[in-house]
């Protein structure tokens, strides 16, 4: 039986994440309906509203299993959908599992694209450089939910960890050896 599930909702960055998981030697099943029996990874590339629309068939099930404690790793917009709303898609509700909203960078150049240093806000997590492509970032109401912060024309939330939910705004699968280290660390915490 595969040890992880990788959610295919019709979008996302499945190719590079699949190759990364294979390099790590992890067994996974590509699923369109999460079972709740195994840790779930949701890779994200795209707009908040489009991803929520892509999840329309599994949204209730996804929210249910995550509330029940299924370990979750969200990547990029896979982090953003955990919050209640996003400035990117006014009127579209997120999963609402983390109180807060997703806001647009107020910077001369948007999106942020490239390597950036992340600083851990929770103990036991390594620090290093990761690869970002984002115009928006999460603003959780509870500051203790912030796992990593980074600087891009001001400090911003680069990752969240709360209970069974872990999510990176950056792309660990595109962040070389350090990104793979982060994925291994996440799995060790399960």
Residues belonging to the active site: 76, 171, 173
**Helix or strand run (H / E) with residue 40:** strand 40-43
Is 147 strand, coil or helix?
strand
- Residue 30 tokens read as 């590509």
Residue 77 contacts residue 160 (beta carbons within 8 Å): no
- Helix and strand element counts for the chain (H, E): 5, 12
Q: Cα(27)–Cα(67) distance, rounded to whole angstroms? A: 24
Q: Cα(54)–Cα(100) distance, rounded to whole angstroms? A: 22
Query: Which of 65, 24, 52, 74 is closest to 181 using CA atoms?
Result: 24
**23: exposed, middle or buried (C-beta count within 10 Å: 0-12, 13-18, 19+)?**
exposed
Q: Cα(56)–Cα(71) distance, rounded to whole angstroms? A: 21
């Amino acid at each position: 039986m595969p040890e992880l599930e990788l959610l295919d909702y019709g979008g996302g960055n499945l190719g590079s994440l699949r190759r990364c998981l294979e390099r790590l030697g992890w067994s996974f099943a590509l699923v369109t309906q999460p079972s709740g029996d195994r840790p779930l990874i949701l890779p994200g590339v795209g707009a908040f509203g489009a991803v929520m629309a892509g999840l329309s068939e599994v949204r209730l099930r996804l929210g249910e299993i995550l509330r029940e404690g299924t370990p979750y790793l969200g990547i990029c917009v896979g982090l953003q959908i955990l919050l209640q709303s996003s400035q990117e898609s006014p009127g579209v509700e997120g999963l609402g599992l983390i109180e807060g909203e997703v806001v647009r960078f107020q910077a001369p150049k948007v999106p942020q694209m490239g390597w950036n240093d992340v600083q851990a806000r929770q103990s036991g997590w390594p620090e290093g450089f990761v690869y970002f492509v984002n115009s928006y970032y999460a603003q959780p109401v509870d500051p203790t939910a912030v796992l990593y912060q980074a600087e891009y024309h001001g400090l911003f939330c680069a990752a969240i960890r709360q209970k069974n939910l872990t999510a990176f705004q950056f792309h660990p699968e595109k962040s070389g050896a350090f990104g793979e280290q982060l994925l291994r660390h996440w799995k060790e915490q399960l």
